[in-house]
Amino acid sequence: MATFINLSSSPNSSTLFSNNKHHPYISNQLKSDWGYGRLRLLRVKCLNEPNRDTVESEAKLVGSGGSGISSYSWCAALGGLGFVETGYLSYLKLTGSDAFCPVGGGSCGDILNSDYALVYGIPLPLIGMFAYGAATFLALKLASKDLPFGIDQSNGGLILLGTTTAMATASAYFLYILNTQFPGASCSYCLASVVLSFSLFLTTAKNLGWQKVRDEVGLQLCIAGLVFAALNNSYSATLSPPARFGEQFLPYYPTEIKAPSSPLALKLATHLRSVGAKMYGAFWCSHCLEQKEMFGREAAKLIDYAECFPDGFKSGTELSKECKKIKIEGFPMWVINGQVYKGLQEFPELAKASGFEAGEFSGELAELAKQSAEANMQP
């Protein structure tokens, strides 16, 4: 601290704000100046006063070191966790492996393997891995103040804000899908990603300052709108059951065939099974039911049939692994001697494809073939 001495024109009214016993030079100077009636204000630096530059330098060191890990470093850490999680899920998706679900069990795997796990045909975890990787890279560069391409800190922060806004919007959309399309189901990986993406957004916003975030609310709304529109457009083509079902979820029910089987149907069904022919269908498919009714009650049970939705159907439900493996494109579908036959097949077509020897049923098959040809010629 500096010591100030206030002197009036009269020696009798002098006021000394600091003890001048330790400053003999000051005392002598005061004595020599009384006669001139001057007022002097002297700034004297104490010998034990610390250097101001040193104090300021120490204050900066304390301010920079006391805050611990920077906000951008926290963003990088959160992004790194998300990158590891989505990387693991991407590996499982690309290799066709089942995810380990500590919470949710089978429902977790159903969600991760549903049609909602693809966006424009690209696995969702792969997109998430890219997004988390980009956020982590930006956060690390902002923390080290070493942004590429000449980007300054302000613009770099805005880019990170836009990235995390897109991620938080996507997570909110998927959380809505989870609650509406998979009621009662649980997905620990989905919920972890929601927490990470929103934490990234909030940490970025806090680092930029809420005033800056409010100033850029138009940009954020634009990004959120684009993300929502892109996801909604992608899922609009999701496989869905016929509109007549109406409900979100259609529980599985076995089809019931009442009409008895003809001798030809029994013999053809037995032959198809012996050569390894297989029919793929869905319990809600009307053409699949028509195909079974063509065989009749007894023969339909002899057909090697694969149900592609054994656990019921709801929007977003994925095909069973067996049906997915052969890349089902419609129902019903037959695989006979390695060849794929799409749609409902008449008896003559099945007999020809499987090498069926009609024998005594040759006339009946010929008549059926004629009827089928006439039906196809009708407009």
The first and second tokens of residue 280, run together, are: 């793929």
Q: Which residues of the chain have pLDDT under 70?
A: 1-69, 102-110, 183-184, 236-248, 315-316, 374-379
| CB contact at 8 A, 216 and 161 | yes
CATH fold of 70-235 reads de novo design (two linked rop proteins) (1.20.1440)
Instruction: Determine the pLDDT at residue 38.
Output: 47
Residue ranges per structural domain of the chain: 2-49, 70-235, 263-377
Instruction: Determine the pLDDT at residue 328.
Output: 84
| CB contact at 8 A, 163 and 134 | yes
The first and second tokens of residue 204, run together, are: 């970025």
Spatial CB neighbours of 345, under 8 Å, sequence gap ≥ 6: 291, 332, 334, 353
* Each residue's pLDDT tens digit, 9-36: 444 444 443 444 444 444 444 444 444 4
CA atoms within 13 A on the CB side of 204: 35
Strands (E) located in the chain = 2-6, 15-16, 41-45, 118-119, 122-123, 249-250, 278-281, 305-307, 313-314, 333-336, 339-342
- Provide the residue type at 378 as one letter: Q
Instruction: Determine the pLDDT at residue 107.
Output: 57
Instruction: Determine the pLDDT at residue 117.
Output: 82
Instruction: Determine the pLDDT at residue 282.
Output: 92
Instruction: Determine the pLDDT at residue 86.
Output: 92
We find that the CATH architecture of domain 263-377 is: 3-Layer(aba) Sandwich (3.40)
Instruction: Determine the pLDDT at residue 227.
Output: 92
Question: What residues are paired with 335 via a beta bridge?
Answer: 278, 340
The packing angle between helices 124-143 and 188-208, to 10°, is 30
Instruction: Determine the pLDDT at residue 28.
Output: 46
Instruction: Determine the pLDDT at residue 6.
Output: 43
Q: Cα 166 to chain center, whole Å?
A: 10
Q: What is the DSSP letter of 209?
A: -
